[in-house]
Structure formats: structure tokens, C-alpha cells
Structure 1
Amino acid sequence: MQRELFPTSPNKGEQARRKLLLAALKKIGEKGYENASVRDIADEAGQNVAAIAYYFGNKEKLYTTVLEGIGAYLGGIFGAIAEETRTKLQSGTLDPTGAMDVMKRMLRTLLGQQVEDEEFEKIRLVMIREQSSPSESFDVLYNKALKPLHELFATVLGVATGEDPTSTKTILRAHALFGQVLAFKIARTTILRRLGVKNLTHDHLAIIATILDEHLGLICPGLKGATP
């Protein structure tokens, strides 16, 4: 399970390559793909511009590698939960109660990563940019991590509610449930101002996690028993 961005060996060349990836992540997150020059990236990494061509070929391939790394990182965060859940789905042993538990674990995992994990903070701006104005390389990230996780959550949601996991409504509902968590990263300045704090604490996280659990506890049984 990958819990580090762009993991590599102690090899000097590999370390230089990783510095370029982290620098590209930072500069493209700050300026956007078009405005972050290869000079900006190389300077941030403490490398010469030629190193980008040497390790990646060009800026586009460098950024594609960045998105592949983000995808692998996100997949690693949810790796254990996803593998366990897919096994239960394939064997038909995931019931509505177990499905709710899976969703709670997934949302709590995402919450913890967003608010506490330094690696997640590094990818935040690039993720926001790719959602608001996707690059030509967005499909790399989408196909590697975002789509599989979204599909898994929607499938589990379908088990919990009895709804068709491939329906438009279930897909939108899954996205809305994920959005509860994403709001604490994307709109964090607003909630910090409302709470009058500089950072969210472990106490805040515990309250948010409880709220997320309560929402699932209200929504899923209610839909399960609803009349079509």
C-alpha cells in the first residue's frame, strides 16, 4: 500500500527524479500547467532544466507522471478497504449493514487524509485545478484512481440502499456523499472562520466523523425502506 507520493529508492538519480516530480506538483498547483515553466520547476527542484528532458522527455510527460503518482497514492490510501470490499462483493457476502460500515470507513479515511496528511496537502491544489479545468492528462488520474473509487463507493451504496448502483441517481448520491468530506478541504477557509480557529483539531475531526456516520445512518435505511 502506497502512503508516500512518488516513492523511490535512495539512488541519487531516482532522488533527483522525485525532486522534479514534487517540484512540478507544487508549481503546477500554484500556477497551473500553462503558467508553470520548466525553469520554475527545475529551480524549485534544485536541478537544471535539462534534467526534465533527461528523466521525462518533456513537461507534458513530467506532468503525466505526476498524475500517475497521485493516482497511485490515492489508490494506496484506500487499497486495503477496496480489496476487502471487492472480495465481499464478488462472494455476495456484503449486506446492507456491512455496506454502511464500508462507506463510513471510506469517508473517515478520506477525512483523515484531507485534514491531517501532509502528502494529501501537496496534491490539493493540483486536484482542485484538474476538477475545475481538466488538462489533457486528466484521464490518467481519472482512470487510475478516481473512477475505480467512485464506482466502488456507488456499488456499496447500492447494496446499502437497494438502489441500482449504475443509475444516475446513485452516482450523483455517491458524489454528494463524497462532497461532504471534500468541503472541509476545498472550502476550509470558510469553516475555519466560522469556527474561529486556525486549524481543525482532532476534536473537530471526531465531531465531523460522527456527523458523517449520522448522515449515512439516516440516509441509507430511509432509502432502503422507501416506496419506489
Structure 2
Amino acid sequence: MQRELFPTSPNKGEQARRKLLLAALKKVGEKGYENASVREIADDAGQNVASIAYYFGNKEKLYAAVLEGIGVYLAGIFSGLAEETRAKLESGTLDPQSATNVMKQLLRTLLGQQLEGGEFDKIRLVMIREQSSPSESFDLLYKKTLKPLHELFTNVLGVATGEDPASTITILRGHALFGQVLAFTVARTTILRRLGVKKLTRDHLATIGDIIDEHLDIICPGLKGAIP
């Protein structure tokens, strides 16, 4: 089932609030936080400007709510697998091959969000902006969602390779492995031009997933054998 950004009840007020969140997400993604005016956001949401103050207080708090919502959405994508994996890590029942398989699942889960038109596509530009020029609200997204997911991945990577999961090299290696998927978000236009297509299809994503699986099958056992 496709998860929804900023899920809410049918309540009219809650629906208006969600429209403002989606409009802010869209306008900040297109123009950046500083250039996206409250007037544009309100107009795109079909609301009056005063509604932003009513529901959020000000533009800064509205954008903070946007990032919090993105964090909830991303955490939800990985929730089941993340909980199961953390339990195995705590009990010490995750072996190197199983750890490699978990990383494949985590990366394929993220890869599965790359189809255009989905919910992830709505957050793509804001995520890129926050990485290149983080706002004051970035910590809301980082501390609650990005850091825990990154730590989970490096902990699993540590089991797969035998490296210290808290070491600089494992953190960097984990980030590099994540980058195999994120490249299709950050540099999407380049790969579309190289492939001569207008968008990535499910067949493309399946092929990319197979390639990433191959990389992990080569990298993880190779590192495991190389560690004294």
C-alpha cells in the first residue's frame, strides 16, 4: 500500500492544514525556502494567507512541520524492516549473510520510491535543497529520521563486513553504498538523458536493484575476508 505524505483525517480543518503542507513542500522545492512566499503557498493550497498563521503560527513553523512530516513518511517506509532488524541486532542473531540481505532490502526499499509521480517524488527537491543548503529546521529531519536510519544501515554493514559500525570508514562506506540509490534522485536528469527516456520505469528500477545486489555480494564478503 502506498504511504501518504502528511496523512490526516477527513476533518475540514485538518484537510486545509494538509493542503498548506503540500503547497509549502511544492513551492520550497521549486524556489527554495527564502523565495517561496506565504502568498504563493496559500494560493497554491487554495487558502487565504491568514490560514498559515492560524494553523502553524508563521512560515518557519510551517516549513518545520513539512520536514517533520517528511521524516515521519521516510521512517514509515522502513518501519517494519527497521524494527525487525534492530531486534536481531540487539539479540545478536544477525549473521553476515543475513546482514547483507538486509542491506539489499533497505536499498531496494529506497529504490522503490524513485518512480516519478509517487509521494517520494514530491519530497525529492526539498531533500536535495536540505542536503546542499540545510535550513535551521534540518535537525528535525536529521535527528528523528535520517540519523537513526543511517546508524541502522552502518550497524548492519558492520555485521556484514566485521568492521566497527561506529568507525569513520564504516560510516563513510555506508554512505557510499546509500549513494548508489541516491544518485538516481540527485542526478536523475543525467541518467534519463543517457538512457534516452523521459522517466525511470519499474523495469529500470528492477535492473538497478539487481546491480546493487551484485555490488553488495562482491563488496561485503570481500571486506569480511580482508579484515584480520
Which runs of at least 4 in structure 1 moved beyond 4 Å after TM superposition?
Answer: none
Gaps of 5+ in 1: none
CA distance in structure 2 between the partners assigned to 1:212 and 1:3 by the alignment: 24
TM superposition shift of 1:188: 1.1
Counterpart-to-counterpart distance in 2, 1:194 and 1:213: 22
Q: How far 1:200 sits from its partner (Å)?
A: 1.6
Match of 1:72 in 2: 72
The 2-side partners of 1:169 and 1:118 are apart by: 34
CA distance, structure 2, for counterparts of residue 91 and residue 129 of structure 1: 38
8 Å Cα contact 1:2-1:76 kept in structure 2: no
**Which residue is 1:125 aligned to?**
125
Q: Superposition pairs for residues 152-167 of structure 1, below 5 Å?
A: 152-167=152-167
When the two chains are superposed, the root-mean-square deviation of aligned CA atoms in Å is 1.3
CA distance in 2, matches of 1:157, 1:116: 29
Amino acid in the other structure paired with 2:53: A
How far residue 227 of structure 1 moved from its aligned partner, in angstroms, is: 4.1
User: Secondary structure of the equivalent of 1:121?
Assistant: helix
- 1:100-179 superposed matches below 5 A: 100-115=100-115, 118-179=118-179
Contact 1:162 1:224 in 2 (8 A): yes
Cα-to-partner distance string for 1:160-204 (whole Å, 9 max, x where unaligned): 000000000000000000000011121111111111111222221
Contact 1:107-1:178 within 8 A present in 2 as well: yes
Q: Distance in 1 between matches of 2:2 and 2:93?
A: 27
State the match for 2:92 in structure 1: 92
Aligned partners of 2:217 and 2:115: how far apart in 1?
23
Q: Does residue 13 of the first structure (1) align with residue 13 of the second (2)?
A: yes
SS at the partner of 1:221?
Answer: helix
CA shift digits 1:34-77 (9 cap, x unpaired): 11111010000010000000000000100000000000000000
| Preserved CA contact (<8 Å) 2:116 2:199 | no
What residue ranges of structure 2 are gaps of 5+ in the alignment?
A: none
| Structure-1 residue corresponding to 2:58 | 58
SS of the aligned residue for 2:226 comes to coil
SS at structure 1 position matched to 2:72: helix
Specify the alignment match of 1:191 in structure 2. Answer: 191
Deviation at 1:115, TM superposition (A): 2.5
Q: CA deviation at 1:157?
A: 0.1
**Which has the larger displacement, 200-209 or 152-161?**
200-209
Aligned-partner residue type, residue 99 of structure 1: A
Paired-residue identity, %: 82
Change (3 A) 1:117 1:147: farther
User: Contact 2:115/2:202 (CA < 8 Å) preserved in 1?
Assistant: no
Please give the TM-score of this superposition, normalised by the length of structure 2: 0.97
